[in-house]
Structure 1
Amino acid sequence: MQLEAEFTSEPFHGEGPPPEHAVKARDTAEGAGLSADFGPLGTLVRGDADTLLDALPAIARAALDGGATRVTLQLRQVGDDTSEPAVELHSALARLIGDVERELGGKLDTLDRAAKQRAVRLLKERGAFGLRKSVSTVAEALGVTRFTVYNYLNRDQD
């Protein structure tokens, strides 16, 4: 049986080199013989069930030893259908949006303008905009246009 594990480690860094905790976790996974796809919000590793399950404690330890304050893990069985995407990148973005909604106390589209701007800042700080098509997804969650999200992002740089 083949498994995939998607793990994220926090704190996220929006720009610059990846954080040490993420690099150490990836290196540990690769050292265990797992194939790894390293991304801005998480790492996806694949391998046979025994190898992957045996490596998970070392991966988590490497992330924590590297400075992670939280490690989140999702496991799934991989079917024979290789046409299926390896990972739903939007699930990582959905989790980030959900975290910000809980932090701000409501669905993003119900927030006032200032709170929406704060939500965009928080998502940016957590690396959400490193994902492809994230601006569209965030705009939809906020109930605004992509142009508005870009304005919020540009305003944050000023």
Structure 2
Amino acid sequence: MTGLGDDPFVTAVKPLVDAMGGEMLPPGQAGPDDVVLSWEGADVVAVRLPQLADSLDHILAALERKQGKPLAELDRKAKQEVVRTLEARGAFFVRHGVETVASALGVSRFTVYNYLNRENATKGD
């Protein structure tokens, strides 16, 4: 992130962009798929959003940091909670999302589907 200085708007949105796995760059370097953020009528920063597959990896890494240990080392209940969180964040809409999550959790795809089905059954879906 060069050329953005200490702009308070940039400082304010940086944690959000980092949490999404995005990249901040000067507005003049924005590509057609980047999002340019403006404040008080001036373009301040451009945000390059990650590809969906990269987003899933970023979400898994964030969940692992939050848990304080590799996701594969969690107990069954904690793994089910991780799957609920991932479902709420759209992780299973990503191509190979179930396989990626199963690998991170150290379980089979079948187990991930069971966790999803169990959650949907308790919601009444």
TM-score bin (small chain) = 0.5 to 0.7
Distance in 1 between residues matched to 2:112 and 2:84, nearest whole Å: 10
CA distance in 1, matches of 2:77, 2:83: 10
Match of 1:146 in 2: 109
Deviations 1:105-151 (A, max 9, x none): 22110101000001101111111111011000000011100000000
Q: Aligned pair 1:60/2:37, yes or no? A: yes
Instruction: Give the structure with the higher percent helix.
Output: 2
Shift >4 Å, 4+ stretches = none
Say whether residues 1:130 and 2:108 are aligned partners.
Answer: no
The percentage of aligned residue pairs carrying the same residue is 43
TM-score (norm 1): 0.48
Structure 1 gap ranges (5+): 1-8, 11-40, 44-48, 63-72, 76-86
More strand per residue: 1 or 2? 1
In structure 1, how many angstroms separate the alpha carbons of the residues matched to 2:113 and 2:86?
13
Residue correspondence of structure 1 range 1-158 to structure 2 within 5 A: 50=28, 52=30, 59-61=36-38, 73-74=47-48, 89-158=52-121
Higher Cα radius of gyration: 2
Aligned residues: 94
TM-score (norm 2): 0.60
Q: Deviations over 1:41-75 (max 9, x none)?
A: 899xxxxx94626x96x63359xxxxxxxxxx448
1:70-94: CA deviation from partner (whole Å, max 9, x where unpaired): xxx448xxxxxxxxxxx75422110
Give the partner amino acid of 1:115.
A
Distance in structure 1 (CA, Å) of the matches to 2:37 and 2:90: 20
